[in-house]
Structure 1
């Protein structure tokens, strides 16, 4: 493995995503889909697929159900992703996405996940420890199976850091709170998730910036705060940027956050400046919401949006400056 380029993703609660297009979807009624697609997915899986488009060497691990593992195995083979998933009895869950193109809304129905045992969890920890010794970055993405203690996130971050890799976390709730305690290299909460972490409401942009800065100063190198269609804040000690995406026709928001993390990681692996990382991450995220699937079809779709992204400095008082970069 080439340490400065090789990347590992960890997905403990992957899913087979079934995305159905249902115009004028109505609960309690018979609805007819005009189309559908099925994908092996989950945050880390989506990110791994995206990063392969940059020809970066990828390994994926986490928990995978034995009974329908072939769906994921086919994807990994086709994308040349090294499969280090821990196999668990049962089926990997299905996530149903109902896309209403008329209402421009997505309804999620997430089925129950796998039930890893203590032995499975220990194997995963050992796998991540082994992989972290030889790679540059390890991305922990997505939710946890209901039976897994959120403290595993803190353990994983600690193991990754101890073995010389950067720990990048994109999760939520108690899993994210546990991650923050272990001080990963990068986190990406949205504004509501940040408010939950800090324990008080965040109504104004300057309040969000202030608390993101506090997390950065605590030892988290990069804090990204997603603000949905308004854009995202990218906070580092020596550079703070606000990126606003162009308006696009929203087909599905599924995978937009994964694309943002993927863009930042690709930018770091390729040696781009922080500003260039932010531009790449924002363009990939914007291009992803314009399609139905969780993984971007073509990088060219994002490339076309790069010049339309407004990137501005955050000034010392917390506001956004008028200087576009």
Structure 2
């Protein structure tokens, strides 16, 4: 059985504040407030647990406000492989109004050398030839941009497959490294930032993704928001479109897509079926607050409505 391990080096408590209308410079009265244990890898683990897969979540958490994370791993049966350090995990604000979600991301705990050594030791112990390792999210203060590239090489040396969901200098360093991830999942903006040019048309996105495949990355998935996602590997490119859904919250939708991708890779399904499952995870999450999926049967029903079309080679 495939072992799944997620890594979140810059986690957060996601505080979602619902407003009637967000107006800069004005005083607002919140309609609702909720806190969710978050961070990209933690969100991926949460969705995979909802799907019924065993998953271990690793990363760095502050012991000063541990309750939300402890409650999550207990409630969902996630294996706790975190390194706990003094201090508090950051809180990120999600300001939600009818126009959309405004994110305010606060600084996280700094990653000192001793903590990084503990993370590396934990990954070496947990990962092996039967492992899919998901490296996800921003890097905290104290981490060099090349850290994900280094961890990718270390994990692959142990036989693990590595899926990377990162952005900016961390993504650029990983894509320039000698040892490359097995899969990457940028969104359109992150791919544009790496490519150094706008990618306004679907064909532009696919061409950039094919360029990454040609560099040696077996699978490239680019999320496009309401326009779905493209899935590209050697000799095959697909565009998957989600059905219309009532949206309760967009928080964690991209992470749910990554979780669906991992679930498909674990099951060994075709690229088309993996695309359907990934989009169904993301669409199902949209109906729930936080990084949570509806029941497995509901996700399977959504997957049947995902339109997947082949793109020209």
Q: Which of the numbers 40, 43, 48 marks the counterpart of 1:46?
A: 43
1:66 alignment counterpart: 63
1:304 alignment counterpart: 301
1:150 match: secondary structure: coil
User: How far apart are the structure 2 equivalents of 1:306 and 1:226?
Assistant: 17
User: How far apart are the structure 2 equivalents of 1:25 and 1:206?
Assistant: 35
Bigger shift: 254-263 or 180-189? 180-189
Q: Which of the numbers 118, 133, 142 marks the counterpart of 1:147?
A: 142
Give 1:311 deviation, angstroms: 0.4
Report Cα offsets for 1:207-251 as digits up to 9, x if no partner: 221121110121111101111111111001132110011122333
2:238–2:310 CA contact under 8 A, matched in 1: yes
2:63–2:85 CA contact under 8 A, matched in 1: yes
User: How far apart are the structure 1 equivalents of 2:288 and 2:14?
Assistant: 14
2:232 alignment counterpart: 235
1:121 alignment counterpart: 116
2:50–2:292 CA contact under 8 A, matched in 1: no
User: How far apart are the structure 1 equivalents of 2:41 and 2:61?
Assistant: 12
Structure 1: which 5+ residue stretches go unaligned?
Answer: 317-325
2:15–2:94 CA contact under 8 A, matched in 1: yes
Give 1:135 deviation, angstroms: 4.0
Structure 2: which 5+ residue stretches go unaligned?
Answer: none
1:305 match: secondary structure: helix
Scaled by the length of structure 2, what TM-score is found?
0.94
1:172 alignment counterpart: 167
Report Cα offsets for 1:144-195 as digits up to 9, x if no partner: 1133212111111111111001000111111111222341011111122112
1:14 alignment counterpart: 11
1:11–1:63 CA contact under 8 A, matched in 2: yes
Give 1:205 deviation, angstroms: 2.1
1:263 match: secondary structure: helix
Q: Which of the numbers 201, 204, 208 marks the counterpart of 2:201?
A: 204
1:191 and 2:188 equivalent? yes
2:31 alignment counterpart: 34
Relative to structure 1, is the Cα distance of residues 190 and 17 closer, same or farther in structure 2, using a 3 angstrom cutoff? same
Bigger shift: 234-243 or 245-254? 245-254
Scaled by the length of structure 1, what TM-score is found?
0.91
1:251 and 2:248 equivalent? yes
Q: Runs (4+) of structure 1 moved beyond 6 Å?
A: none
